[in-house]
Every structure is written in C-alpha cells, then in structure tokens.
A and B are shown apart, each in its own frame.
Chain A
Amino acid sequence: MRHRARLVEVLHRAETGPMIEEADFERTLVAPAIKKLVQKYDIKYRKEVFVPSDDDLADRVFQAGLDLAVEVGLFCQNTSRRITWTREELLEGLRYCPSEVIMGAGNDAIIARARKPDDNGRVVVAGGAFGTPVPEYMYIPMSLSYLKEPVIDVIDNPSLETVYGYPIKAGSPWEVLAAHREAELALQAAEIAGRPGICLGCVELSPTALGALAGVSWGGYRPTDWLHAPIMSELKTNYDMLSIVSHATRTGTILEAYYNPIFGGYVGGSEGVAVAIAGGLILLNQNHLPHTLNTRPNHPFLNCDTTPELIWATSLGVQSLTRNTNLVIDTLVGPAGGPGTKTMLYENAAFVIATTTSGQSLMASCHSSSGGATPKHASGLDSKICGEITHASRGMSRKEANEFVKQIVPLYIDDLPNNPIGKPFNEVYDMDKIEPTAEWQGMYDEVRNNLIKMGLPLDRLVF
C-alpha cells in the first residue's frame, strides 16, 4: 500500500530521534502534554453524556491529538529515542492513509471502509475470543462457536495456554512452535466452518516478534489475514513491533495497529483518554503503517472499557478521527462481565452502540471477562450480540445512541466491581454440538428482547 514506502524513514528516525529515558518520556512529556492540551482545547467530561454529539468538541480533540503527536512523538524502547514528525508530515500521512481494506479471500472476503459519525454505511463485524487463553482441546470448539455465527465477518481467535502440553515461554522456541500450532488450529477451524477464506486475526499468543513472524510464515496465516502490531501504554513502540511492521510491509499482510491508553494512568481521566486515542492513532498510522487502527482503553482496577467515563472517552476519541480523517478504525469491547452473565451482554450493547454511531469501520468483540484475561471465559454469543447491535445501530444518530446508552448503563454498572467473570466456555456451550446451553441462550434472548423493547431494531436487522 502507498503509505508503506515510509517504513525505512520510520526505522531511521527510531535510530536518530531525540534521546530520553523511558520513565521521563511518560512522566515529563506525555503526562504534562496531555494535561496542557486538555486545558488548551477546553475538553471537559460531562457525566450525564455517554455519547457526545458535539462536533466542535470532537474537532478540538482531533487538534489536541495532532498537537500531542507532534509534541511527544512515539518512543522506541530499544533505542530510547523518540520518533518525531512535523505537523505537515503527520497530516500528509493521514491524507494518504488506507481508507478501505479487503479482508479475507475468495467468497469470504469483506471490505472495511472509512466511516463518519451517524453513518449508515456497513460496519464489518470482527468476532472472537481476541486472545483469551484456552487449553488446546478447547481451541477449535471455541473458535467454531464464533465461526458459526453468520453475523461475524472476520475472526480473531483465542490463544493457546500450552503447546503439545508444554507451557509456552515468551522469546523461546516454544513461542515459535506455539505460533505454528495456533495457525494450524485456526485454519482448521475455518475449514470446518466452511469459511476457508475468512480473515483471521493473528498471531494471538505472540508476545514477541518471534511468534508473530513464525505464525505468518509458510504454511501459517496468510497475507489476507489480520496481523497485529500494537504500541505499549503510553505511546511506546519497540523493535519487536517494528519487526512485525517490517515483515507485514514486505509480505503485503493486512496489519492492525492498536493502542490502549490506561484510564487514570499517565494520560489522566476521560478527557486525557480521548486525546490520547486521537494522538496515539495518528502516531500509529504514521509509524506502524497499518490498514486498520484499534483502541481499547482500560480501567486499571475493573479491567474493562465499559464504564461511563470510558464509553464517553472512546466515543469522542473515535469521533475526532472519523470526522477529520479517512482512517479505518475499530474499537474492541472489553466488558468486565463474562459468558453466562447479563452484565456482559448489556456492557457490550452500550459500548457497541456508542462506538458504531461514532463512525468506526469495524466493530471488534469481545474481550470478555475482565478484558480477556480470564482463561476459557469467552463464547460465540459474546460477539453475536455485538454483531447484531452493530447492524441495528447503523444510521442511528449519536443523540439517539446517547439515549439508548443512558438506559443500558444502569443495568450493569453496579455489578462491575463484583468481578462478574461468568462461566468458562464448557459451561455455557455444548462442546460437541457447539451450541449454547439453554440457560445461556435464554439469557441472551431475554437481554435481546429487552433491548428491542427499548427501541433497538434487533428484530428488523438489515445486513
């Protein structure tokens, strides 16, 4: 893609940019810059608003994000240097960013396109366990529970707890072996489901470039699959991630870059999270050269992104970019709740309505049960509800979305501190038939019907 010619310049600037200690980067640059920009651009969180529809506010967040990107740059952990760009360079990077991407192959291919807030355009639904660790015997059944859902267009699978019964250690030959094994299993699941060309997120368990590169080598994941190259909180890259970027650039693999700011951390509160999302994704576009860009900000104690403060911040951060660029953006819902809980279903509903109406191009779900950290706690219905709500939200205005979210948040907010991780996959699904248990399906239907009664057109979906 045309923006990838910039790769050598990115690597060069990682070697030659201004030097700074890592702790100083966050403490003396990032934190004060965000605080100052929030004040300069008068960005204020209002508790009574969940999905802001103030276009001027969104545009100010974009300007604040651009200023942040210029002022601090991206830190490279291996060289202790900042990769910096001028405002004009960043704007040129945005001008020539990919505005659409074909994901997957053959009859399973789908196109993700840049959208705007309140847009009626189709949103691609990415479903899966998004790296939730699972035992090897559970990998294919869990993957199939998502693959079976026709509302899901792209898959992002679980990650393996072990490989051939042995623990997987980062940076070791085990990681390489595990990456190959994950690819084998993911491709096999796609074949079984009759969706061999479906785009597969990868490589889920790769903590270093070793796993990522091994998994996308010969016989593994394909260039039409969805490789990931994140940056660390806050605004930090490293040689492992840049190696993934370099490899994706040479092989033409679809690349997703993501950044997850921490609420209450160096970026501050909701306002800071919104600015960090804007600035972070601008820097990601410039340096990681992705096709799609994702954010999943995190609450440090609840391990979710579905608190009112984070829904507001994510919606606003996304709007700032969708209003002012053609970036292909997605957000990943990370509920505190897990399978077998109504809490999770309502959390997902609120987050998806807010982010879809903010203009995201893909909806990624679901980092169930405390942000995807609880092994085995993920299931196809977690993403199915997100997919259905994504389609029901198409063409909805942000004002309407705000009214829906206002009704939904009280249905789960008090449960978040109770660690409502729900049940593991084998207790909510029949693992042989790959069907939800009657209890879990019943809960799903109840929540879905409640949402219909609220006015969400889940019974009149148009795909």
Chain B
Amino acid sequence: MSNYEKLKEELTDLLLGENPEAPVVWAREILAGGVSAVDFFNSIFTPTMAVIGEKFGRLDIYLPELIDAAERAQAISDQVIHPMLTKQGSDQQMVKGKVLMCSVQGDLHDIGKNMVVLMLRVNGFEVIDLGVNVPVKTVLERAKEEAVDIVGLSSLMTTSQPYMKEIVERRDGFGLKGGFSIIVGGAPITKEYAANIGADAYGKDAVDAITKCLALLDK
C-alpha cells in the first residue's frame, strides 16, 4: 500500500472516530512531516471525503456520522489546509463550487435536502442552506446575492412542484439563466419533469446529486 493510501485510511478512521479533535491534530502532524498542503488536499483530503460520501451512499454509516465527519473535515480545512495554502500563496481551488439549497415553498420536509447538503459539503462544495418552505422570490434574491453556481431545489410533494417551475421561469424571465444552473430532486420529481420545466439537471438521490452538480460545473 502506498503511503497516501495508508494516510487516507487513517484520515477516514479519524473522521469517523470518537475523538472530534483528533483529525485536526493529525492533519497538522502530517503537514509538519513534509507532505505539501496541495498534495494533502488533492491526494488525501479530497479522496477521503469522497470515500466518506460513498460509505453513506451504501449506508455503511448514517446521517449523524456523516454530519460529524463533515464538521471535522471543515475544521481541517479552516484550521490547517486553508491557512497553509494562503501562506504559500497557492491558488489551489479548495471549493469546487457554490450551491444554494432549499425545500421549495409549501414543503416542510427537509431530511432529503439535508442529506444532499451534507454530501455536497463532504465533496468539496460550499453550500448555503435556506431551509424549508422558501418563497420563490427569496430563492432568486439569495442566488443573486451569493453569486452561486447552482441552485438545488427539493420537493417531496406534487403540490410544491409548481413552485420549482416558477423559479425556473423567473430565472429565465429575468435574464439570469447564464448566472446559475438549477438542479431539482425529491420523491415526486422525475427526469422528465425536470426537462419539462427547463431545469438543468435532476438528482435521483443524494449520491446522484453530487455527480450531476459536478457535471453542471463542467458545462
């Protein structure tokens, strides 16, 4: 096993372990031991987060463990990697993209949306979570304010679906189509529905949403 493979395994264990402070301490030690911040980010940190995401996708770990892992990873990012990269004057992109997430107007369900938020974060996205029952106007205003790359809309009920269509219509109507993409998902949502309303992508579940968001960034 290569050294990086071993380090990825160690980081995985620490992110899912009992000691919330241990991952940051470990990361500092690794970087002090000669691994560059860029290599650490690209070859150890990022792939490990993908492994954590895959574990959740198989339900080898559950939502509370995913949340803990995401927070510990954020701590490594904020306290160790980012300062190091800044000090070195690196222009390494740590954030893949910026996503605004919400459950649309009329929908109070949040667990599916929360899963997507977490999976996006562990996969290197910056996520702004607006919560549930978010009015159409608020979604568009915040998307513009935050200059997001993608807006993710969740709906668990057919009676909230029309608000997804409204958001797409208003984005296009106000000439914002070039500004951000829209991905939709939720139990009653289908690929066909997403295409009919003019959304840019459809996410079948939390795992699929990541693949689609990465594809949207490449466009």
Do A and B associate with each other? yes
Interface segment among B8-16, B37-45, B58-66, B72-80: the answer is: B58-66
- Interface pair B59/A161, CB less than 8 Å apart: no
> Which residues in B have their C-beta under 8 angstroms from that of A205?
158-159
Interface segment among A12-20, A165-173, A247-255, A379-387: the answer is: A165-173
B residues 122-139 in Cβ contact with A at 8 Å: none
- Interface pair B64/A27, CB less than 8 Å apart: yes
- Interface pair A265/B63, CB less than 8 Å apart: yes
Contact with B along A194-215 (1 / 0, CB 8 A): 0000000000010110010000
> Which residues in A have their C-beta under 8 angstroms from that of B57?
301
Interface segment among B81-89, B102-110, B173-181, B210-218: the answer is: B102-110
- The range of chain B's interface size is 20 to 34
> Which residues in A have their C-beta under 8 angstroms from that of B158?
133, 159, 161, 168, 205, 375
Min distance, Cβ B43 to any Cβ of chain A, angstroms: 29
B residues 159-184 in Cβ contact with A at 8 Å: 159-163, 165
Q: Which residue of B lies closest to A302 (CB)?
A: B205
Q: Which residue of B lies closest to A171 (CB)?
A: B106
Tell me, yes or no, whether B67 is within 8 Å of chain A by CB.
Answer: yes
Kindly state the separation between the CA atoms of A313 and B146 in the bound complex, as whole angstroms: 43
Min distance, Cβ B126 to any Cβ of chain A, angstroms: 18
Tell me, yes or no, whether B187 is within 8 Å of chain A by CB.
Answer: yes
- Interface pair A169/B115, CB less than 8 Å apart: no
> Which residues in B have their C-beta under 8 angstroms from that of A168?
158-159, 162
Min distance, Cβ B118 to any Cβ of chain A, angstroms: 11
Tell me, yes or no, whether A233 is within 8 Å of chain B by CB.
Answer: yes
- Interface pair A303/B59, CB less than 8 Å apart: no
Q: Which residue of B lies closest to A261 (CB)?
A: B111
Tell me, yes or no, whether B51 is within 8 Å of chain A by CB.
Answer: no
- Interface pair A207/B106, CB less than 8 Å apart: yes
- Interface pair B108/A268, CB less than 8 Å apart: no
Kindly state the separation between the CA atoms of A211 and B158 in the bound complex, as whole angstroms: 13
Kindly state the separation between the CA atoms of A168 and B158 in the bound complex, as whole angstroms: 8
25 contacts between A and B (CB under 8 A): A31-B63, A31-B64, A32-B64, A35-B64, A167-B161, A168-B158, A168-B162, A169-B163, A170-B105, A170-B107, A170-B157, A170-B160, A170-B163, A205-B159, A238-B108, A264-B56, A264-B62, A265-B63, A265-B111, A265-B115, A300-B59, A300-B111, A371-B187, A373-B187, A373-B188
Q: Name A's B-contacting residues (CB within 8 A).
A: 27, 31-32, 35, 77, 133, 159, 161, 167-171, 175, 178, 205, 207-208, 211, 232-234, 238, 240, 262-266, 268-269, 272, 300-301, 303, 370-371, 373, 375
